Amino acid sequence: MDVMINVLIVVLAAAFLWTRFAPTKGVNSITTGQLREMMRAKKPGTQYIDVRTPGEYKGNHIKGFKNIPLQQLGSRSGELSQDKDVVVICQSGMRSSQASKMLKKAGFNNITNVKGGMSAW
């Protein structure tokens, strides 16, 4: 019986980790190098969002990125157009991954997450 309980705990933990860290279906991922190329190309209508805290953003940010902290994204997603591409960045890629999932659930279709975030920039 103890073995079954241990197996169940491991399976539940693995499922939890998979849902938290697995890539979101329909969300693109790019490197910071690809982001540089994208920004040089200046594709019209692309929305660049930095989901770090205001303090982190103030300390260092990429010109052209709008600061909408992850905690406010749900209530401020109306500031973004669902018809345009959205590029999301954070410090390491974890919060931007969460933000990408939130935007996907909110009906956004063209979402790109920057892997490695500002740490890789």
Distance CA 33, CA 54 (A): 24
State residue 8's pLDDT score: 81
pLDDT, mean of residues 80-101: 96
**In the structure, how many helices (H) and strands (E) does the chain have?**
6, 5
Please give the residue that has the higher pLDDT: either 23 or 2.
2
State residue 27's pLDDT score: 94
Catalytic, out of 49, 68, 90, 114: 90
Residue 14 has phi, psi (to 5 degrees) of -65, -40
Amino acid sitting at position 30: I
State residue 91's pLDDT score: 97
Which pairs with CB-CB distance under 8 Å and at least 24 residues apart come from 72-75?
A: 73/49, 73/99, 73/102, 73/103, 74/102, 74/106
State residue 2's pLDDT score: 84
Using the Cα atoms of residue 43, residue 37, residue 61 and residue 112 in order, give the sign of their dihedral: positive
Domains in the chain, CATH or no CATH each: 26-120 (3.40.250.10)
Q: Does 90 participate in catalysis according to the annotation?
A: yes
pLDDT above 90 for 43: no
Q: Which residue, chain included where needed, has tokens 């209508």? A: 45
The per-residue pLDDT for range 3-21, each reduced to its tens digit, is: 888 888 888 877 666 565 5
pLDDT, mean of residues 90-97: 95
Q: How confident is the model at residue 96 (pLDDT cuts 50, 70, 90)?
A: very high
pLDDT above 80 for 101: yes
pLDDT, mean of residues 43-72: 96
% of the chain residues with pLDDT over 70: 91
Distance CA 67, CA 53 (A): 8
